[in-house]
Amino acid sequence: MLERNSNSHKGDNGRIMIIGGSTMFHGAPILCSLAAENSGVDLVFPFLPQSQKEAAKTYSLNFILQTFEEEVLTSKDVKTLVNFSQKMDCVVMGPGLGTDRKTKEAVKLLLAKLQVPTVVDASALMYSNELPEICVLTPHRGEFKQLTGDDPTPENVQKWAKDMNCTILCKGPQDIIADAEDIALNNTGNAMMTVGGTGDVLAGFIGGLMAQGMMPFEACKQATRILGMIGESFEGLESSLKAVELARAIPISMAKLM
């Protein structure tokens, strides 16, 4: 488990902001926020569409909910989000944001302006031309190919991590994690984890670890390993797996595995 200073106060052990959700995808930012909360951060601030606020309330009493100006992220939200992010230890952007034209423009603006460690996930990956100084990208293999034009090999993932000055987690049956200096492979997990929402949980878990001070490369290594082992623990016990079960199993698994 992560060490906590005995003299710390509320907020000292991580403040995280989750930017996600759209008309079609209401569950993604909730799953991401749950994973961040269960990673051990003190405070979780989900930013999502107004229509999804009530649903998010039912999943945690601790979420400090904020809403977009409209039912999707737009440039109207950028100033508020950038200002709010300055009080955060990490931002996760992308889960469920969708591909609305107005959202695309807002994501580009945000990525150019954010100055805190950021995890870029899901549809936000497609607009990642300019990135925060400390940044993790979490494409699956198809998204990596779409983003770069290269096959998702360890060598290519590290090449792009160097070129983009970030950490890249390329998700697949074997996860590839790379930054400019190191490469790691993760083989935990199983086919039960192909269900919707597992990527949102992973992004929130990584962001939660980073908000608590873990370096991006190590956060990706630990989050992929532990979530994969949680997935493996369900095999033979249940016929299917839900992403919310992964998120809720994080605390006890961290206690055993970190």
pLDDT tens-digit series, residues 54-78? 999 999 999 999 999 999 999 999 9
pLDDT the model gives residue 168 = 98
Measured CA to CA, the distance from residue 149 to residue 166 in angstroms comes to: 18
pLDDT for residue 127? 74
Residue 178 pLDDT > 70, yes or no? yes
Give mean pLDDT, residues 12-25.
94
Confidence of residue 133 (pLDDT cuts 50, 70, 90): very high
User: What pLDDT was estimated at residue 8?
Assistant: 83
Find the mean pLDDT for residues 174-191.
Answer: 97
Residue 36, amino acid = A
For residue 16, the SS3 value is strand
Q: CA nearest 119: which of 139, 92, 95?
A: 92
pLDDT at residue 239 greater than cutoff 70: yes
Indicate if the pLDDT at residue 172 is higher than 80: yes
pLDDT exceeds 70 at position 197: yes
Looking at the predicted structure, is the pLDDT value of residue 5 above 90?
A: no
Mean pLDDT of 109-131: 91
Residue 2: predicted pLDDT? 76
Share of the chain above pLDDT 70, in %: 99
φ, ψ of residue 15 to 5 degrees: the values are -125, 125
Q: Which of 162, 177, 173 is nearest to 220 (CA)?
A: 177
Distance CA 29, CA 17 (A): 10
Residue 188: what residue type? Answer: T
Residue 1 has pLDDT above 70, yes or no: no
Asked whether residue 166 carries a pLDDT value surpassing 80, the answer given is yes
- For residue 128, what pLDDT band results from cuts at 50, 70 and 90? low
According to CATH, the superfamily of the domain at 15-246 is Ribokinase (3.40.1190.20)
Specify the pLDDT at position 149: 95
Give the model's pLDDT for residue 147.
Answer: 92
Ranges of each domain in the chain: 15-246
d(CA 47, CA 64): 9
Determine the pLDDT at residue 203: 98
